[in-house]
Copies of this chain bind each other. A is one copy, B any other.
Amino acid sequence: MSHRENESILVIGGVACGPKAAARARRRDAGVRITVLEAGKTVSYAACGMPYYLAGVTDDVTSLQSTPAGAVRDETFFDKVKDIQVRTCTRAISIDRVAKTVLAIDLNSGEQKAFRYGKLVLATGAVPIVPAIEGTGLKRVLALRHLDDAEQIRRLIDDMAVDRATIIGGGRIALEVADAMMAQAVDCTIIEMADHLLPTSLDSEMAGLVECALRDKGIQVMPRTQAHRIEGDANGVARKVITEAGEVKTDLVLVAIGVRPNVELAERAGLELGETGAIAVNEYLQTSDPDIYAGGDCVECLHVVTGKPTFAPLGSTANRHGRVIGDNLTGGRTRFSGTAGTGILRTMGLNVAGTGLTESRAAALGYRAIGGTASGHDRSHFYPGGKTITVKIVADAGNGRVLGGQAVGRGDTCRAIDVLASALTFGASVSQVADLDLAYAPPYGGPISSVSHAANVVRNKMDGLANTMGVAEIRENLAQGKELLFLDVRGPIEVEKSPFTLGQVLAIPLGELRSRVGDVPRDKQVVCICPLGIRAYEASRMLVAAGLDDARFIEGGMVCWS
């Protein structure tokens, strides 16, 4: 295909947003010249797939760079299939916005070359944040950002060189890699500075479910812990992480405390950065130079809930950016609507998902935030194979608007989060969410979805009908020495099989409670308990009706008691 003279698109960055923008532009315009520069050796790979390569879910690293049909997306593929010229091992070093050229260096030959552009796309991604501690330069202190990193770690595992791994950071990648380490029978420690794991996605009590699952599988979790330094052996190989809580012996250190946008090129070219430090773009994903677009992990975008700029680097967002940019490079006028920071990960058999704001984040931003948590199964109880999920909805107590959602469990949480991501994008209230007409049949859940249940908990709390005590509040009360009376309303067989032993417990099956309500002491703070919180809620209503006005029930049920 011959291209039009004097019209060209140049893309810097070849992982997710860049190739997507280029491919979309090509489908819309056969005549424009399109070139992609990538500093690394590989392009268009599923970076999100690297933990699964570490885990041995796939043993073929090129599968991460393949189409579903098995074609490897290399330079030849882009040339033949997409009519896009890809140059790997080519690092862009400066942008001349007046001459409209990008100077780049061939990392193999050291040769420099200028590339002309009509429209430029910055898809320079993000770089791992390296903590400012001693020892990060040692061997086997790695981040998981490029396929090279994944291959290096996998080689160490395959060579049986790693018995113990330490992950600094407790976010998404950390938990996916911990899962991979478990799959590879590598002992694993997670060191997280914040109060709890996944601090940007989950509130503490939901993160507790994840932490509990990690500990159950023998993974050491150290929240509220600062790594002070990494120490190596005589060969300069990392062997110990020294923390305030003691030292952790290790054969590998993965640094996963987050990423920062790679804005060096943009900054030097005088493009505007936003308040988060990432490249500022308008709704068409144009930078302050209208001929330069930017997308993926190097830009900030508007949060659909707050309407404020946020830095939320995600592969799915990068792909959405790419399509919008591809449109706008070729005469389109497509808007990018923003991010909800929706994410999901699988670790220890749990599906861990979040969207929008957490309750603590919402409160910090000044919202009058209220949370509602409900547990249930992802199949009807008479349909075998159902698994538990716990859904939390965060809402604005003033107007009922949904601000965020979290879902954790062995069951299908992705569906719940996708519904909540949709709902908060469209500005829905908890009442609207509770009333959604979602799909029901016994193999897929109950007639009232988990999302509706959680929304109803929020509504009931707002209406004073549900007096709950969350597991965090229970823990706090117990820590402060406050006396709680747990009213266990399960049946005798359930109680016998798995007794609840914490503090003072009175066991009255729900079916007997109405006639035995006089047995419940009136001078104690009663917290009704049962596995899912459904019977406990019913019990709390009976007690309130009997004059125990402050009777509570455990929000989300005993399954939240991690």
Q: Which A residues are closer than 8 A to B by beta carbons? A: 1, 16, 26-28, 30-31, 46, 48-49, 52-53, 57-58, 60, 63-64, 66-71, 77, 80-83, 176, 304, 314-320, 323, 334, 336-346, 351, 353, 355, 377, 380-384, 412, 414-415, 417-419, 421-423, 425-428, 431-432, 435-444, 447-449, 452, 456, 465, 490-491, 494, 510-512, 514-515, 530-532, 534-535, 537-538, 541-542, 544-546
Contacts and interface: CB of A to CB of B under 8 A. Distances in A.
Contact of A382 (B49, B82, B314, B415): B49
Given A382-B49, A432-B337, A448-B320, A418 B417 contact: no
Contacts of A319: 447-448
B344 A441 contact: yes
19 contacts: A1-B545, A30-B546, A46-B447, A48-B380, A49-B442, A52-B383, A60-B382, A63-B382, A68-B377, A69-B535, A71-B491, A77-B511, A81-B510, A319-B447, A320-B448, A337-B432, A355-B439, A421-B436, A422-B436
Contacts of A534: 67-68
Contacts of A515: 80
B419 A52 contact: no
A390 to B, nearest CB: 15
Contacts of A71: 491, 510-511
A296 B86 CA distance: 60
A306 B345 CA distance: 38
B545 A344 contact: no
Please name the 6 residue pairs, one residue from A and one from B, whose CB atoms are nearest each other, closest first. Answer: A30-B545, A426-B426, A344-B439, A316-B440, A68-B381, A63-B382
B315 A440 contact: yes
Contact of A443 (B82, B83, B317, B346): B346
A55 to B, nearest CB: 10
Given A69-B531, A351-B443, 11 more contacts: A57-B384, A58-B384, A60-B382, A66-B381, A67-B534, A317-B437, A342-B437, A344-B439, A412-B415, A426-B428, A426-B432
Contacts of A494: 69
Given A383-B57, A532-B68, A444 B414 contact: yes
Contact of A437 (B64, B425, B436, B531): B425
Number of copies: 2
A421 B422 CA distance: 10
A1 B516 CA distance: 11
A530 B68 CA distance: 12
Contact of A442 (B52, B426, B510): B52
A528 B85 CA distance: 25
Contact of A381 (B63, B490, B491): B63
Contacts of A346: 441, 443-444
Chain B CB within 10 A, most for which of A26, A67, A442, A449 = A442
A80 B438 contact: no
Contacts of A541: 26-27, 30
Chain B CB within 10 A, most for which of A63, A344, A494 = A344
B439 A343 contact: yes
Chain B CB within 10 A, most for which of A80, A339, A449 = A80
Contacts of A16: 447
A380 B440 contact: no
A62 to B, nearest CB: 10
A80 B514 CA distance: 7
Nearest to A61: B382
Nearest to A79: B514
Contact of A435 (B30, B315, B320, B355): B320
A179 to B, nearest CB: 10
B382 A46 contact: yes
B417 A419 contact: no
Nearest to A385: B57
Contact of A340 (B315, B432, B437): B437
Chain B CB within 10 A, most for which of A69, A71, A380 = A69
